[in-house]
Amino acid sequence: MDKELKDYLDKHNIRYITHKHEAVFTVAESSGNEEIGKIQGLHCKTLFLKDDKGGFYLIGLSAHKRLDIKKLEKHLKVKKLRFGSVDELKDKVNLVPGSVSIFGAIYSPSVCLILDKEVWNAEIVGFHPNVNTETLELGHADLERYYRSLPNRKEIIEL
């Protein structure tokens, strides 16, 4: 975890357990990793999307859930959502492919954070802390504390 994220979480009294593991770039890789398999709670992924109007989104959902992009486009009232480019990912949320995380929201208040209700309702969730060699385990109260600490536009919806 980088220092800026650690400082942010500490400043906002967000408790977490850090699990170190070998680098994983996809859900398929993480599913086959014994160390990751032992982590408590709902295993999650984050997608970085851009709309046709230039808006950016971090979408947090269960690792094995498929995002219905058409449903999300309709909800957001945008014509087209696509994955952000590598350059946009670095520029907007200071991340690289394989390390996309809801925690990237601390780097850009203009990026909208959307969490699936399944993630929100989970007792424990696990997300990368902006690097793919660790997973942070957070209880619901700490996920909520993180969510509420952000100045970003944010939503909790059924994805």
Q: Express each pLDDT in 46-56 by its tens digit.
A: 999 999 999 99
Encoded amino acid at 55, one letter:
G
Tokens linked to 105: 């929201």
Q: For residue range 11-64, what is the model confidence (pLDDT) as tens digits? A: 999 999 998 877 666 665 666 666 766 777 888 999 999 999 999 999 999 998
Give the domain CATH number at 42. 3.90.960.10
Instruction: Give kind and range of the element (H or E) at residue 123.
Output: none
Domain membership of residue 24 as a residue range: 3-157
- CA–CA separation, 153 and 113 (whole Å): 6
**Res 37: pLDDT:** 64
- Paired with 134 in beta bridges are 20
Number of separate domains in the chain: 1
Work out the pLDDT band at 98, boundaries 50, 70, 90: confident
Q: What Cα–Cα distance (Å) separates residue 78 from each residue in 50, 107, 150?
A: 10, 24, 23
Work out the pLDDT band at 129, boundaries 50, 70, 90: very high
Counting DSSP H helices and E strands in the chain, the numbers are 7, 8
Overall pTM surpassing 0.85 (yes/no): yes
Mean pLDDT of the chain: 91
